[in-house]
Amino acid sequence: MTPLVAALGVVLGAAATGFATVVAANRKVREVELAFLQRLQENYLENARAYTQGVYMPIATALTRLSAEFGKYQSELEASNESAPAVARFYEAVGSFTEVVKDLQDRGAAAFLTTALEGELEDFIAFLEASHDATTTKRRATVRLSIFGMSIEGALSSPTAIQQARLMSTLRYLPALFMPRVKVLKDHVVAADPLSDVFNMEFVLSVNRLRVLIKEVTLGAHASR
């Protein structure tokens, strides 16, 4: 028995050593990958900074003007019972903002925007345009369904379906191979009544996200702090 126990100890020791080696190797590979991705991101932002004056500053200026007009818009709504003129004047400012962005796009400047900023701008403008005549809030969620080792993605617009997807995303099924997993990748407002609190909140949040993404390029990695 003694030689058998000794042999078993050697095997288990070798297995433990091998496992520790694999874990250490995987950790090292991950560290190298993260370092590479960080350098890639830094180079990406450095290249974008070359276009600060011609691309990012015009968007930042237009966004500041739009934010100022939004403040005036809110003040007008509070001071008057007539909302239509205030909405019309605000959407004139929205038109000026979208013209700046679309002019840059027509000149090919979108090629020098970071992917995150370009996507956020497109979503923001689409939200503003869809909200012009909106009387209710509309949401859209991008959902990933995984089952039998395969995944498919789709969009949901029904509030009930989105709520159910969010509920399912909090659950864990066993065995995972045979039971579906749901993950909500993105859930955002696509339109809201311009007179509603939802519109106000979405406008402010979108502007803040855009400012952070612009400053990430113009000021560097500490812009979000």
pLDDT value at residue 37:
46
Q: Domain check: are 87 and 21 in the same one? A: no
Q: Domain check: are 62 and 163 in the same one? A: no
Q: pLDDT (tens digit, 9 = 90+) per residue, 177-187?
A: 556 777 877 77
Contact 140, 155 (CB under 8 A): yes
Q: Domain check: are 180 and 212 in the same one? A: no
Which residues are within 8 A (CB) of 70 and not within 5 positions of it... i.e. 6 or more apart? 90, 93, 203, 207
Q: Domain check: are 62 and 124 in the same one? A: yes
Could you tell me which of 106, 74, 65, 78 has the C-alpha nearest to residue 207?
A: 65
Contact 156, 162 (CB under 8 A): yes
How does residue 224 score in pLDDT terms, banded at 50, 70 and 90? very low
Q: Domain check: are 101 and 171 in the same one? A: no
Q: Domain check: are 91 and 33 in the same one? A: no
β strands within the chain, DSSP E: 138-147, 150-156, 181-191
Q: Return the sign of the alpha-carbon dihedral for residues 63, 117, 47, 222.
A: positive
Contact 8, 16 (CB under 8 A): no
What percent of the chain is predicted at pLDDT more than 90?
A: 41
Q: Domain check: are 152 and 180 in the same one? A: yes
Q: Domain check: are 182 and 131 in the same one? A: no
Q: Domain check: are 56 and 97 in the same one? A: yes
pLDDT value at residue 20:
53
- Count up the domains in the chain and report the number: 3
pLDDT value at residue 53:
76
pLDDT value at residue 71:
95
Residue 11 has pLDDT above 50, yes or no: yes
Q: pLDDT (tens digit, 9 = 90+) per residue, 74-124?
A: 999 998 888 999 999 999 999 999 999 999 999 888 888 888 999 999 999
Q: Domain check: are 164 and 210 in the same one? A: no
Q: Domain check: are 42 and 133 in the same one? A: no
Q: Domain check: are 63 and 149 in the same one? A: no
Range of the domain at 114: 52-137+192-224
Q: Is the pTM of this model over 0.85?
A: no
Q: Which two tokens stand for residue 188?
A: 């955002």
Say what the alpha-carbon torsion angle 196, 199, 204, 208 is, to the nearest 10 degrees: 160
pLDDT value at residue 165:
74
Provide the H-helix boundaries in 50-155.
57-79, 83-106, 115-131
